[in-house]
Chains A and B, each alone.
Chain A
Amino acid sequence: MSVLTPDRVQEVLRKGGSARLDEKVSAQFQAGDQVLTRNINPVGHTRLPRYARDKHGVIDCDHGVFIFPDIHAATGEKTGQHLYSVCFTSAELWGENTKHPDDLVYIDLFESYLLASG
């Protein structure tokens, strides 16, 4: 990225920054696959929320390859990983007494957060 000069501010703000990477990376999962999220508790940055750790879900779709934020935050290195929309039931996330057990929660999760399951 070059120096941000006043004449470029409008353009840069309008465009925003994308974390998408134009890289060929093989995908471990595809839509319909059952997965289990890992139970990780890193002291660094992660985008796997606490309530979604060690939970069963189903891959809804593959968004493509994006910069893996956990490593990007730690070292600045841009490593490409597939990012999936993963579908969880409310009962899986919040337990048996949840008011609406069949409600669905979709969370965008990186491949290394996921284990094959089922």
Chain B
Amino acid sequence: MNGAHDLGGMHGFGPINPEVDEPVFHEEWERRAFAITLAMGSHCKWNLDMSRYARESMEPAEYLSTSYYEHWIHGLELLLLEKGFLTEDEIQQRMSDIAAQEKT
């Protein structure tokens, strides 16, 4: 698909500046995003190309303003909903629970 992921040839993003001694994960949640994505992949309800397509399906403006592992989580969420592992309500409920916990 002609999505926001197909960046080749686009101007205006500035230079690529590789970090010195870049860590594998910049945030603890990225480590979990990676692990959960791989663990769910082992259910074999989808394949690598399907998970790439799920990431590409992100709304273009959102895709360009979010990080690599946010794309992963978006793709995983989409697949979990599509394949019936989770419902939208369950995700919303869990987010509310976590938000409530963080307030206390």
Contacts and interface: CB of A to CB of B under 8 A. Distances in A.
Interface of A: 1, 3-4, 12-13, 17, 19, 41-46, 49-52, 67, 69-70, 72-73, 76, 93-94
B44 A73 contact: no
A17 B48 contact: yes
Contacts of B53: 44-45, 73
A40 B38 CA distance: 31
Place the interface of chain B in its size category: 10 to 19
Task: Report which residue of A41, A46, A70 has the largest number of chain B beta carbons within 10 angstroms of its beta carbon.
Answer: A46
A58 B38 CA distance: 37
18 contacts: A1-B42, A12-B42, A45-B1, A46-B1, A49-B6, A50-B6, A50-B8, A50-B9, A51-B9, A52-B8, A67-B49, A69-B49, A72-B47, A73-B47, A73-B49, A73-B53, A76-B47, A76-B50
B35 to A, nearest CB: 9
